[in-house]
Structure formats: structure tokens, C-alpha cells
Structure 1
Amino acid sequence: MMLVSFGTRPEWIKIKPVLNAIKGIIPYKLVFTGQHLDILDNIDQPVHTVGIVNKKNRLDSIVSSLLHQDELFDGASSLFVQGDTTSVFGMALAAFHRGITIIHLEAGLRTYDNKHPFPEEFNRRSVSCMADVHLCPTSAAADILKSEKVNGDIYVVGNTVLDNLVGIETGYGREIVVTMHRRENHHIMDKWFTILNKIAGDYPQYDFVIPLHPNPNVQKHRHLLSNIKVEDPIPYDKFIQRLANCHLVITDSGGIQEETSFFKKKCIVCREQTERTESLNIFSFLADPDNIESLFKKLEKDHIPTAECPYGDGSSSKKIAQILQGLNDV
């Protein structure tokens, strides 16, 4: 039996297409690690929830809570994890200690800077050291793993998030979609919000909108966004429709860089580095608070990329299902 672990909304979004592809073919058990509780409302199958015992350091709490779960792994022959959250690292470490096969989806992403993004860069590099099956979104990611001489089998499958987007029509409206949440931006979130608010005021021909992340380190600066429409987080399907029909995107997200590439949208990335280098300076463009005004001025006019999406064609889950069926210990 394969354990399938997830705890955040992005993890579930990228894992769900795989579950649809293996349903009735490969037995699995869902394990929820508890970060985004609201996603359980939309899951109509049994889920085992692991309780995170919160102490002073949240990251410590996640790892320590996942390491002593012997009954969770009873009967499991493999663990399927996606991405680079701390719960992915914790579950992989627990499986590694028990000699259980680890299957890592979205493997091979790198910045080689443990502080950008933090703690994701450490998490994914650590999981690569433990994983037995590496499911890479691009050939560049696979080449990285080969250069690192990781153990296990390496496959290029594309990114499963795109499987959710097939058939959605794309347009170019007046909306500028903004999302900001990353931990490494928390200490300068006020600076980001101040400059973004200024840009929104300077370009009244566009409707700037931000579904504001619930993290208190983000929420405490919402008063700085007087020129931007501030909304509560919205369901994924509605957010995707927004991306499909917007003019431009401003974000510090990783996954949105993949989705905007598929929709042929340009994306300003409010980060020092990105692990999605395949789309860099074609679909996605790095920014800091000092240069984002000039970058926005350039991209709002030249906003439609002509290249093909480098992250796949929306058929990744089918490829993954075939790979999983060929494994002996799933």
C-alpha cells in the first residue's frame, strides 16, 4: 500500500490528478499533515489526519510530530510526497528511517541557497537524498539530480498542476492578480505592499486585486493596500479563472509561475531567486522593491509571451500512473 501525504492546498492540487489516474489501480491511503484544514471540506474519501503538537517553533513542531507515528506506516510499502514543505521532509525522514520506498513528485528544483526559499530549499534537497523515485517536472530538473548523483530512478513527467488547467480558455483582461505570502518576504512585506500600492495608484486603467494570505505576518500590513482590492482567499477553481483572464500577475509563489506559463501570461516574481528557471525571463521575471516599478512599466505593455510552456502539456498524471504501476514495491 502507498501512503500519500499532503498538508497544504498546493500539495493537494498537485497530488489530486495523480490520485484520479491511479484510482482503482494502485491501493493508497491518504495522510493529512494538518497545515490547511479547509481543504478537507472538499475531499470525499477517507483521510488519516496526523495531529501537529504546536510548540514555540512551528517548523520543529511539524517535524517532531511526524517522526513518532509507527502505526501510520503499518502495512505501507511506499510513501508518495509532493514538493518541499517541512511536512514533506518530516514524512520522508520517517519513511527513510523505516526503509520504506519514497516517491518524490516535483523533484529536482533548486536555487542552491538555503535561505531563498526558506525552508523549502533545504527540505527538497534533503528529500532528494532519501528518495527512491524522483518524478521531475522538466529535463533540467532531472539533469540537476543526475549531477548530484542521487540514488534512485529519475523520470521526467511534467508538472501535475497543469493537468488541472487543460481546456480552460485564456483571455487578457484589465485585472492584475497579486499574491504575496512567502516566509522570506515577511520581514519586508510592508515595503512590498507600499510599492505595490503605489504601482496600483499609478495605473488606474487596471484593477489590482490580492486574495490576502491568512498568515498574520501578511495580514498585519493590509492597511497599506488602499489602491488594491483586498479579498479573502478564494477557492482554487475561481483563482484559476482569474489567472486565465488577467492581464499580468505579481507574486512570490512558486507554483503560480507554472500556471501562468501554461496560460501564456507574464509573471513578476517578488523574490531574490526562483527554482523555476526554465521560464525565467520568458514567462517569469525576478523583481525587488527597487526595480519592480520599471519592470511593471515594461511588462504591462509587452505582456503576452510567445514561447511554449516548459512545464508540460497537462498529461503528467497519466505518465506517473504508468511509472507507479511498473514499480515492485508500491
Structure 2
Amino acid sequence: MHPRTRQAVRRADCKDVLSRILVIDPVGSREFLSLAAHAAVLVSDSGGVAEEVTVLKRPLVVVRSSAERAESIEAGFARLVAPHQIVPVVAGILSRHRKLVARLANEPCPYGNGTAAARIAWATKQLIEGRRRLG
């Protein structure tokens, strides 16, 4: 949990809700991705997380009034909610978790097909070998 979120929880007196879930301190990118890949559902106000869950095939509850990553919402990976909706929405996701994860596993990533690195490597090799020109 981000330190600002922890402060907001204290201000809102929501400790009883958090007592039912495991809350950890912030982690680095590698550990975050590992944890997220195995999470039943993620809750975040971060736009970047919306991209990551599409690759990880995990459901996300985005606590914001708008989203700059609308593709994740349109594809069904993320759901935009107001703060007071978090608990019922997460409960709904958990109640149909297996079915939802099975559907998301077959949903294509709206941000690409995962082959960008291979295409970049191929194009770079072509440039280095002089078989291709920029532009």
C-alpha cells in the first residue's frame, strides 16, 4: 500500500475493511508484477497498472473518475469505480473469479500482441547489416 493511501485509510477510518486483506509496503516493479500475476483482483488508482493487467490477464478495479487507459476498460480487464464502490465491485469480481479469469485469459491484449521486442530486434539487425534504411 502506498504511504498516501495508508494515510487516507487512517483519515477515513477504514481499518476494519483492511483487516480482512493482506496489506504490504510498496514493492519494486519485478516483485509487483509477480504479485499482480497471482492476484485475484487488483485495486489501483494508477493508469499504468491498467496496461500491465492486460498482459497478466488479471482483473483490475480502477478507483478514479476517468481513465487514460480506456482500452483496458473496453476489453473488460479494468472497471472504473468511485471510492464508495470498491467493496461491492471487488466482492462481485471475487464471486465470479474463475469464470472472469478464464474469459480474460482468452481476451487479446488491447495494447499489442507481445511481439514488439522481436520486431524491434529484427529491424535493428536489418539496420546494422545495412539491409534497411531509416525513414
Give your verdict on TM over 0.5: yes
Output the amino acid matched with 1:316: A
The correspondence for 1:312, drawn from 112, 121, 131, is 112
How many Å separate the matches in 2 of 1:314 and 1:257?
16
Partner of 1:234: 27
What SS does the corresponding residue of 1:238 show, helix, strand or coil?
A: helix
Q: What is the correspondence of 1:121-160 to structure 2 with a 5 Å cutoff?
A: none
- Structure 2: gaps of 5 or more residues: 128-132
- Classify 1:314/1:269 alpha carbon distance in 2 versus 1 (closer, same or farther; 3 Å): same
Output the amino acid matched with 1:221: A
**Contact 2:43 2:61 (C-alpha < 8 Å) held by counterparts:** yes
The structure that is helix-richer by fraction is 2
What SS does the corresponding residue of 1:239 show, helix, strand or coil?
A: helix
- Classify 1:278/1:248 alpha carbon distance in 2 versus 1 (closer, same or farther; 3 Å): same
- Bigger-Rg structure (1/2): 1
- Structure 1: gaps of 5 or more residues: 1-209
Shift of 1:297: 2.5
Partner of 1:301: 95
Partner of 2:63: 270
Partner of 1:327: 134
What SS does the corresponding residue of 1:231 show, helix, strand or coil?
A: coil
Shift of 1:317: 3.1
Partner of 1:220: 7
Output the amino acid matched with 1:288: A
- Classify 1:287/1:259 alpha carbon distance in 2 versus 1 (closer, same or farther; 3 Å): same
Output the amino acid matched with 1:319: R
Q: What is the correspondence of 1:249-260 to structure 2 with a 5 Å cutoff?
A: 249-260=42-53
The structure that is strand-richer by fraction is 1
Q: What is the correspondence of 1:278-289 to structure 2 with a 5 Å cutoff?
A: 278-281=71-74, 282-289=76-83
How many Å separate the matches in 2 of 1:219 and 1:290?
17
TM-score for the superposition, normalised by structure 1:
0.31
How many Å separate the matches in 1 of 2:88 and 2:23?
24
Q: What is the correspondence of 1:119-198 to structure 2 with a 5 Å cutoff?
A: none
How many Å separate the matches in 2 of 1:259 and 1:230?
20
What CA RMSD, in Å, does the superposition of the two structures yield over aligned residues?
2.6
What SS does the corresponding residue of 1:286 show, helix, strand or coil?
A: strand
How many Å separate the matches in 1 of 2:91 and 2:22?
20
TM-score for the superposition, normalised by structure 2:
0.68
Shift of 1:234: 1.5
Q: What is the correspondence of 1:79-94 to structure 2 with a 5 Å cutoff?
A: none
What SS does the corresponding residue of 1:268 show, helix, strand or coil?
A: strand
**Contact 2:41 2:90 (C-alpha < 8 Å) held by counterparts:** no
Work out the percentage of aligned pairs sharing the same amino acid: 28
Shift of 1:245: 0.9
What SS does the corresponding residue of 1:290 show, helix, strand or coil?
A: helix
How many Å separate the matches in 2 of 1:241 and 1:233?
13
How many Å separate the matches in 2 of 1:295 and 1:218?
19
Q: What is the correspondence of 1:56-75 to structure 2 with a 5 Å cutoff?
A: none
Shift of 1:320: 4.3
- Classify 1:284/1:232 alpha carbon distance in 2 versus 1 (closer, same or farther; 3 Å): same
Shift of 1:222: 5.2
Partner of 2:130: none
Partner of 1:245: 38
